[in-house]
Amino acid sequence: MSTYGYYRLAVVTPRVRVADVSFNVEELVQCTKAAAKGGAHVVACPELCLTGASCGDLFFQPRLQQAALRGLTHFAAETARLNVVVLLGMPLVVGTALFNVAVVVQRGRVLGVVPKSEVPCHRAAGEARWFRPARELSGVSEVALPGFGEVPLGTNLLFSDGGDLVFCVEVGDDARSVMPPSSAGVLQGACVVFNLSAEYEQAGGASKRRALVKQQSARCMAVYAMSSAGVGESTQDGVCSGHSLVAENGRIVAESACFEQKGSLTYADVDVQRLAYVRMGESSFNDCRARLALPPYRRVVLSRLDGCCDLSYAWLPPRPFVPAEEEMEERCEEILSMQAAALARRVQHSHARTMVIGISGGLDSTLALMVCARVCKLLEISPESILAVTMPGFGTTGRTYRNAVEMIRLVGASFKEINIKEACLLHFRDLDFDPSLRTNTYENVQARERTKILMNLANKTGGMVVGTGDLSEVALGWSTYNGDHMSMYGVNCDVPKSLIRSLLAYEAASCGKELAATLQDVIDTPVSPELLPPAEDGTMDQKTEDILGPYDIHDFLLYHFIKYGAEPTKLRVLAQTAFAGEYSEELIGRTLEMFLRRFFTQQFKRSCVPDGPKVGSVALSPRADWCMPSDACATEWKP
């Protein structure tokens, strides 16, 4: 069995000699052995790789056709001891017609043959000159192969190892048709699609191919693996690039270089369990399956594939909420624009004259302030309509206070300072509470005092309170109920802590030197609610991540728990893989326990959070994104 739904796929571009079947088979055997040694469960080779895809009219020659059959037999025998599934492309005569087919081989047996559906004829020497499309096999469901007996034949074949893996196959131009065969295959249960391809490269072809594979994998909520013929093909009228790639639910997770002279072997560890989870919650997938009259599919049972891959080739970035470097600027601008547009609409709708915001000098309130500044530009109003309030308390340090005051000045917002110490001490007396006790009461009185001030200032100025709490805090319930938990619009509600630093760094890169320096110092400041008194030297003594564990780990766990339904043991393995060398396994284990405990016990806070804009694929709004009873038990999720 695979590890937690992970299978290792290998897409191969072997060295090929046109019409030299013996050479090609030996290359394919060596590639298969190398892939098996590398832990691959399934190996996909290119279209017509047994003969070469550019044989032209030689495809009609019985000599080449028979050589391909002998080559298939030899390949099966040479790889019979390997528990790996191999997909090969070859020409095959069925009846009186020639077909371009993919052959599925495992442990010396041919388990199925899938013919190409879309045979192009857009040029004089198009494939239709030699091959017939799959539709002409209507009524034929098996083919006799020498040495293998009657083998299932058709485009309606699903291959399953009896575990999580179910795949279907299409060939070359099938992927470019209006309705690719793989669309029907995934609706019938396939989670992985293999495409055996051989096409001449064109300028810009790689980017188009990449987009095609990404889009089909996203549309089908599947893994899409394409193996492509390489430079060994004939260059009489073009050149093949050997561009092989694997996409998982809209994301490229593995890709080979183009024009490799020695061929290529590219691995990808893909999680098919997560695809089943995504499909289960996606109504469009299940509605489409119920609506369409799909032809019956036949399931071919494979030998059970050996477990576990070590996830060396899995897409497991330690900070999945943070955009990739090449997308960073575009994504940051997009997120900030969504936040600003949402808040601007709420300001307009409520006729708010001010945006009231508490500024602590920490990450969250700084991001909210930057969003408010953007709103002023969008609505063409003065930044003085931002009422930025600092509320020093018992734990406020000089560093955060200075940063708060400096940011407010540089943004041009209206400034107000209200020290909350006296009010809190008075309330402690009302409660008959000893302030030397550093309990939740000591901390929460301060948080609620600040929220009360902001709410009343909003009433006084005809404004609205802009909330600063982020997605990480919402997930962990790291807020005071009816304190910083509450606002009139939570602009950061869908932005996790690990992403906020990237957003502020992006803002810093485009603003003045003074503000950029202040933003960078905010980024470098440890996360803290600053509710407990500082150390004797005035530095921050209360650090959130010392209590909860690193936010980077929490955000990783949140992403895989909510988006893909990963169970606790799997979460631990994924986090250990993603953070190997960065955080210890012991720390990851403790953080996982903290995450699960707080996530379940703090739902009551999420059940009544303020409105706020969704900006990503993981969100916890009780109105649209995460519906969970506040009394749910975490017993079944104990790690």
CA distance 567 to 511: 43
What pLDDT was estimated at residue 445? 97
Q: Does 607 map to a domain?
A: no
Mean pLDDT of 505-515: 95
Q: Does 415 map to a domain?
A: yes
CB-based contact 192:279 (threshold 8 Å): no
Residues 252 and 372 reside in one and the same domain: no
Q: Does 337 map to a domain?
A: yes
Mean pLDDT of 488-493: 97
Bridge pairing between strands 264-271 and 149-152: unpaired
Q: What beta strand segments (E) does 297-345 contain?
A: 298-301
Mean pLDDT of 591-600: 97
What pLDDT was estimated at residue 124? 45
Using one digit for the tens of pLDDT, what is the confidence trace for 115-137?
A: 999 998 754 457 889 999 999 99
Residues 297 and 391 reside in one and the same domain: no
Q: Does 522 map to a domain?
A: yes
Mean pLDDT of 575-585: 96
Q: Does 277 map to a domain?
A: yes
Residues 238 and 380 reside in one and the same domain: no
Mean pLDDT of 402-421: 97
Query: How many structural domains is the chain composed of?
Result: 2
Mean pLDDT of 531-552: 92
Q: Is the pLDDT of residue 111 over 50?
A: yes
CATH number of residue 334's parent domain: 3.40.50.620
Residues 293 and 330 reside in one and the same domain: no
Mean pLDDT of 196-221: 93
- pLDDT tier for residue 306 given thresholds of 50, 70 and 90: confident
Residues 287 and 356 reside in one and the same domain: no
Q: Does 422 map to a domain?
A: yes
SS3 503: helix
In whole angstroms, how far apart are CA 354 and each of 372, 411, 458, 486? Answer: 10, 15, 7, 18
Q: Which domain holds residue 523?
A: 325-543
Domain end point (choices 543, 571, 600): 543
Mean pLDDT of 314-333: 95
Residue 228 has φ and ψ, to the nearest 5°, of -125, 145
Q: Is the pLDDT of residue 8 over 90?
A: yes
Question: What is the rounded average pLDDT for all residues in the chain?
Answer: 94
Quick count: other Cβ atoms within 10 Å of Cβ 484? Answer: 25
> Quick one: how far is CA 205 from the chain centroid?
25
Using one digit for the tens of pLDDT, what is the confidence trace for 135-172?
A: 999 889 999 999 999 999 999 999 999 889 999 999 99
Residues 159 and 198 reside in one and the same domain: yes
Q: Is the pLDDT of residue 513 over 90?
A: yes
CA distance 543 to 212: 47
- pLDDT tier for residue 638 given thresholds of 50, 70 and 90: confident
CB-based contact 335:371 (threshold 8 Å): no
CATH number of residue 236's parent domain: 3.60.110.10
What pLDDT was estimated at residue 122? 55
Q: Is the pLDDT of residue 599 over 80?
A: yes
The set of residues, in sequence order, having a beta carbon less than 8 Å from that of 15 and lying 6+ positions away, is: 27, 230, 232, 262, 263
Give the lowest-confidence range in 114-128, 301-315, 360-374, 401-415.
114-128
Residues 486 and 529 reside in one and the same domain: yes
Residues 409 and 284 reside in one and the same domain: no
Domain end point (choices 497, 524, 543): 543
Q: Does 571 map to a domain?
A: no
What pLDDT was estimated at residue 443? 96
Using one digit for the tens of pLDDT, what is the confidence trace for 42-81?
A: 999 999 999 999 999 999 999 999 999 999 999 999 999 9
* Residue % of the chain over a pLDDT of 90: 88
CA distance 366 to 372: 10
Residues 332 and 256 reside in one and the same domain: no
CA distance 28 to 82: 13
Residues 278 and 363 reside in one and the same domain: no
The set of residues, in sequence order, having a beta carbon less than 8 Å from that of 523 and lying 6+ positions away, is: 363, 501, 504, 505, 508
Residues 352 and 494 reside in one and the same domain: yes
Q: Is the pLDDT of residue 307 over 50?
A: yes
* Residue % of the chain over a pLDDT of 70: 99
CB-based contact 455:464 (threshold 8 Å): no
Residues 19 and 142 reside in one and the same domain: yes
Using one digit for the tens of pLDDT, what is the confidence trace for 22-44?
A: 999 999 999 999 999 999 999 99
Q: Is the pLDDT of residue 2 over 80?
A: no
Identify the DSSP state of 221.
T
Q: Does 597 map to a domain?
A: no
Mean pLDDT of 278-284: 82
What pLDDT was estimated at residue 1? 46
Domain end point (choices 524, 543, 562): 543
